[in-house]
């Protein structure tokens, strides 16, 4: 199993290689050289398996010979053992042909745990086998940072540095990061915005000397292993609803396009997925693209679903590569134009190919509150603001098409108590595992919005922890 860059100028690698590399050297994203294919009988053989077993079987299709299947099975079993629901990713029915799949039963209550918990163990295994150490550096507006910290805290051979914008994440999100006291975790609270944090991370990665000295690695959603670890739950939902004999549709609340790309990947592997609905909040660049081939960047506006407040969805490049018939030069040219002009030129034929599967949907804050209130009244279901966008997106599919539609529930409602209170009148309680979150001691290092200060903080951590 080999992986190639969407921009065609990086050395192909195996699964372990792309896990450690993250972004390719040519600025592109790694994708499988050939998509794994499952026949109907293969899908049927996966029906009714416990989720960790199903996850391991599908993940092995992407890992190839890089890691032994028994190791992958053990990693998946351990990753999901601590989840707060025995089904790991339970399906809940809300209406005729309308379901949600809950992806928020992991330790930080957002769907990022689904992949990150696996990544923590994959890194540890691969680094042990190679006798290497890495320093993972990432920026977060909230959910990714806490999931990464939970997954990597205390792991051998990894230091983890997470930059968050000081005072600009929710209190639950900040405390989930800053109350972890493992010595290999460094929380940097940057005097700036999330965009500043992302720019600082890019500057660190652009510093070749530092990159080599600290073996910098990334676990943001461009890391292929995260996409691979998100494919299995689409299969689990589809199989439970009658696949491969019956088609299903998925509606996905979308930010960086990682989750919906995993759904697209499952379809590409042969899962019978009729439609994919891409849900957006007021930051609706993907909906504008799918409606009118208008992929033009506008300023990011804050919304009730902050994990979707994104204009440049980094994983879109992987879909673009497919839409352009896997032409790396054309992909690199389109991405270059997008970066320079803020507008992505997508040829008409490629756009039609996208629309044959993907459907765009947008919901503003008022519509989100209305949807949360309506679900609560109709069936007592508490959907967080991200999930509510997904459910409304599922309803936007033409009525009566008879295909069961599954909306992805990406966060626990207790992560967004203010919006929930506004819509339903009550604040959902945190699950028992996090009930004492507000009593725990926080630890973080405030830093200036300055790459020199951050480089120094990271070097101090690495020197302290390197044997």
Ligand X SMILES: *Cc1c(COP(=O)(O)O)cnc(C)c1O
Shortest separation between residue 416's beta carbon and ligand X, angstroms: 9
Q: Is 279 helix (H, G, I), strand (E, B) or coil?
A: strand
- Tokens standing for residue 259: 């989750």
Asked if residue 356 lies in contact with residue 323, where contact means CB atoms within 8 angstroms, the answer is no
Strands 216-217 and 185-190, by their bridges, are unpaired
In sequence order, the β-bridge partners of residue 255 are none
Interacting residues with ligand X between 131 and 160 (CB under 6 A): 143
Shortest separation between residue 414's beta carbon and ligand X, angstroms: 12
Sorted by sequence, the CB contacts under 8 Å of residue 243 that are 6+ apart come out as: 43, 235, 271, 272
Q: Which is nearer to ligand X, 46 or 286 (CB)?
A: 286
Shortest separation between residue 359's beta carbon and ligand X, angstroms: 15
Per CB under 6 A, which region of 107-115, 158-166, 169-177, 366-374 contacts ligand X?
A: 107-115
Interacting residues with ligand X between 404 and 443 (CB under 6 A): 410-411
Contact flag: residue 173 with ligand X (CB under 6 A):
no
Asked if residue 249 lies in contact with residue 276, where contact means CB atoms within 8 angstroms, the answer is yes
Asked if residue 405 lies in contact with residue 397, where contact means CB atoms within 8 angstroms, the answer is yes
Whether omega before 244 lies within 30 degrees of 0, making that bond cis, reads yes
Is residue 112 part of the annotated active site? The answer reads yes
Asked if residue 266 lies in contact with residue 235, where contact means CB atoms within 8 angstroms, the answer is yes
Q: Which is nearer to ligand X, 141 or 184 (CB)?
A: 141
CA 193 vs CA 110, 136, 169: distances in Å: 22, 20, 10
Q: Which is nearer to ligand X, 143 or 317 (CB)?
A: 143
Interacting residues with ligand X between 377 and 406 (CB under 6 A): 386
Per CB under 6 A, which region of 110-118, 132-140, 169-177, 232-240 contacts ligand X?
A: 110-118
Q: Write phi, then psi, for 453 (nearest 5 degrees).
A: -65, -40
Per CB under 6 A, which region of 46-54, 105-113, 133-141, 329-337 contacts ligand X?
A: 105-113
Shortest separation between residue 204's beta carbon and ligand X, angstroms: 22
Sorted by sequence, the CB contacts under 8 Å of residue 319 that are 6+ apart come out as: 257, 261, 264, 354
Catalytic one of 112, 202, 343, 415: 112
Interacting residues with ligand X between 238 and 257 (CB under 6 A): 253-257
In sequence order, the β-bridge partners of residue 95 are 98
Report the chain's terminal Cα–Cα distance, integer Å.
Answer: 34
- β strands within 6-124, DSSP E: 30-32, 91-95, 98-102
Shortest separation between residue 141's beta carbon and ligand X, angstroms: 9
User: In this structure, what is the dihedral angle of CA atoms 79, 434, 158, 219, given to the nearest 10 degrees?
Assistant: 70
Q: Is 159 helix (H, G, I), strand (E, B) or coil?
A: strand
Shortest separation between residue 166's beta carbon and ligand X, angstroms: 20
Interacting residues with ligand X between 269 and 308 (CB under 6 A): 307-308
Asked if residue 14 lies in contact with residue 65, where contact means CB atoms within 8 angstroms, the answer is yes
Contact flag: residue 259 with ligand X (CB under 6 A):
yes
Q: Which is nearer to ligand X, 166 or 415 (CB)?
A: 415
Q: Which is nearer to ligand X, 187 or 307 (CB)?
A: 307
Shortest separation between residue 314's beta carbon and ligand X, angstroms: 9
Q: Which is nearer to ligand X, 135 or 256 (CB)?
A: 256
Q: Which is nearer to ligand X, 43 or 194 (CB)?
A: 194
Binding stretches for ligand X (CB under 6 A): 110-112, 143, 221, 253-259, 307-308, 386, 410-411
Catalytic residue numbers read 112
């Amino acid at each position: 199993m080999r992986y190639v860059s969407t921009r065609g100028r990086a050395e192909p690698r195996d699964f372990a290689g792309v896990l450690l590399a993250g972004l390719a050297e040519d600025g592109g994203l790694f994708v499988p050289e050939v998509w794994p294919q499952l026949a109907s009988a293969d899908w049927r053989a996966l029906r009714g398996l416990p989720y960790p077993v199903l996850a391991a079987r599908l993940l092995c299709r992407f890992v190839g010979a890089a890691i032994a299947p028994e190791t992958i099975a053990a990693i998946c079993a351990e990753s999901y053992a601590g989840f707060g629901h025995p089904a790991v990713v339970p399906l809940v029915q809300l209406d005729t042909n309308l379901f949600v799949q809950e992806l928020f039963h992991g330790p930080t209550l957002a769907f990022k745990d689904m992949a990150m918990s696996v990544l923590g163990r994959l890194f540890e295994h691969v680094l042990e086998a190679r006798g290497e150490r890495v320093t993972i550096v990432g920026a977060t507006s909230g959910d990714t940072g806490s999931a990464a910290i939970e997954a990597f805290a205390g792991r051998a051979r990894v230091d983890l540095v997470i930059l968050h914008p000081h005072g600009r994440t929710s209190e639950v999100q900040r405390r989930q990061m800053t109350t972890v006291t493992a010595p290999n975790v460094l929380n940097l609270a940057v005097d700036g915005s999330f965009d500043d944090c992302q720019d600082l991370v890019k500057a660190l990665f652009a510093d070749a000397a530092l990159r080599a000295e600290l073996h910098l690695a990334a676990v943001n959603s461009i890391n292929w292993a995260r996409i691979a670890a998100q494919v299995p739950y689409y299969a689990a939902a589809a199989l439970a609803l009658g696949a491969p004999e019956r088609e299903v549709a998925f509606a996905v609340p979308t930010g960086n396009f990682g989750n919906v790309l995993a759904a697209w990947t499952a379809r590409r592997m042969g899962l019978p997925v009729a439609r994919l609905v891409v849900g957006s909040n007021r930051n609706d660049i993907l909906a504008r693209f799918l409606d009118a081939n208008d992929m033009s960047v506008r300023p990011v506006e804050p919304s009730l679903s902050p994990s979707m407040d994104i204009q440049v969805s980094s994983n879109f490049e992987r879909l673009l590569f497919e839409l352009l018939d896997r032409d790396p030069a054309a992909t690199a040219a389109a991405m270059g134009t997008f970066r320079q002009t803020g507008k992505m030129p997508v040829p008409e034929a490629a756009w039609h190919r996208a629309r044959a599967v993907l459907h765009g949907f947008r919901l503003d804050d008022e519509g989100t509150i209305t949807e949360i209130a309506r679900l609560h009244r109709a069936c007592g279901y508490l959907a967080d603001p991200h999930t509510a966008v997904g459910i409304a997106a599922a309803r936007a599919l033409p009525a009566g098409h008879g295909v069961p539609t599954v909306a992805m529930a990406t966060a626990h409602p207790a992560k967004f108590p203010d919006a929930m209170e506004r819509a339903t009148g009550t604040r959902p309680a945190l699950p028992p595992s996090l009930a004492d979150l507000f009593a725990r001691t926080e630890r973080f290092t405030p830093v200036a919005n300055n790459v020199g200060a951050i480089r120094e903080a990271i070097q101090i951590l690495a020197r302290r922890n390197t044997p």
